[in-house]
Structure 1
Amino acid sequence: MSNEKIKGRCFCGSIELVVTGEPSAMGYCHCKDCAAWSATPINSYSFWGFDQLEITKGLENIQTFSKTDHSKRKFCKKCGGHIMTEHPSSNLVDIFAVILEGFSFKPSIHVNYESKTVSVKDGLPKFKDLPEEFNGSGKILPE
């Protein structure tokens, strides 16, 4: 794993963060919760370990919304910009790829494709829900 540091920030710059190394996974989520939260039909996710993340500015500006016990969605209380979603049960944090400066987003899968709003033809596997290692069915749907 590299020790590269990548900076990120909310829309207004009140919150700044740094992630170190490489994400454990990158892909697209099509679930209704992610779509509603991100106000887009597809959410680009990058999963990082909690130990890879450092909030360098504006910790006091982070607000949390939890619809379920499975995720803690974090956003800036000044601009409303979405920053990340913590997934405590997996010890991972999903940082919105678009807030990371110069980050090379390389998705490998689509998850929750059964809930898709738009079809995507990109050659990546389209999981009905989640891969088996994340307690999903592991079923792959056609493009």
Structure 2
Amino acid sequence: MSEYQGSCFCGTVKFQVSGAPEAMGYCHCDSCRRWSAGPVNAFSLWPIKNLQVLSGADQVGEYHLTEQSYRKWCKHCGGHVFTDHPAWDLVDVYVANLPGLTFEPALHVHYQESVLPIRDGLPKMKDMPAEMGGSGETLPE
């Protein structure tokens, strides 16, 4: 079984995910863009049970803008580490925090909100895939 270790910016919060991600891609929604302080967020979605906080669990802060996303960060450095998505039983571990993971994006989500067009041949979902509660509609590149 594959295991990938990561940490927050300062290294206080260390974590590990095991197995394979359920999905990898790019999110263009306003919420992810503002949280990541970038024009797009690279995500990797894992079953929540596959995430283990190895150290610094007492330093993990949590914020709920919505009940769909429980965003988590290190209280010491402010570095963002992951986001729980309880309705899907998945956790988004930010790709930048998993240096050993080979990033193989399969799609773009919330492309209707994009501020940085990316022409890479991957599907551009208007919002989310239908199986995740979205319209399933794709947009042209």
Shorter-chain TM-score category?
over 0.9
2:87 and 2:133 map into 1 onto residues whose CA distance is: 12
Q: 1:9 corresponds to which residue?
A: 7
2:99 is equivalent to residue 97 of structure 1: no
Say how many residue pairs are matched: 141
| Percent of matched pairs sharing the same residue | 45
List per-residue Cα deviations over 1:66-86 (Å, max 9, x = no partner).
111111000000000000000
Amino acid corresponding to residue 98 of structure 2 in structure 1: L
**CA RMSD for the aligned pairs?**
0.6
2:82 and 2:66 map into 1 onto residues whose CA distance is: 15
Matches within 5 A, 1:72-87: 72-87=70-85
1:129 Cα offset (Å) = 0.5
1:114 Cα offset (Å) = 0.3
1:101 and 1:122 map into 2 onto residues whose CA distance is: 22
Structure 1 residues without counterparts, runs of 5 or longer = none
Among 25, 28, 50, the residue aligned to 1:27: 25
Query: Structure 1 runs of 4+ off > 6 angstroms?
Result: none
1:118 and 1:93 map into 2 onto residues whose CA distance is: 25
Q: What is the TM-score of this pair, normalised by structure 2?
A: 0.98
Structure 2 residues without counterparts, runs of 5 or longer = none
Q: 1:120 corresponds to which residue?
A: 118
1:141 Cα offset (Å) = 0.5
2:67 is equivalent to residue 64 of structure 1: no
Q: 1:54 corresponds to which residue?
A: 52
1:101 Cα offset (Å) = 2.4
1:88 and 1:137 map into 2 onto residues whose CA distance is: 20
2:133 and 2:49 map into 1 onto residues whose CA distance is: 23
Q: 1:129 corresponds to which residue?
A: 127
1:5 and 1:70 map into 2 onto residues whose CA distance is: 26
Q: What is the TM-score of this pair, normalised by structure 1?
A: 0.97
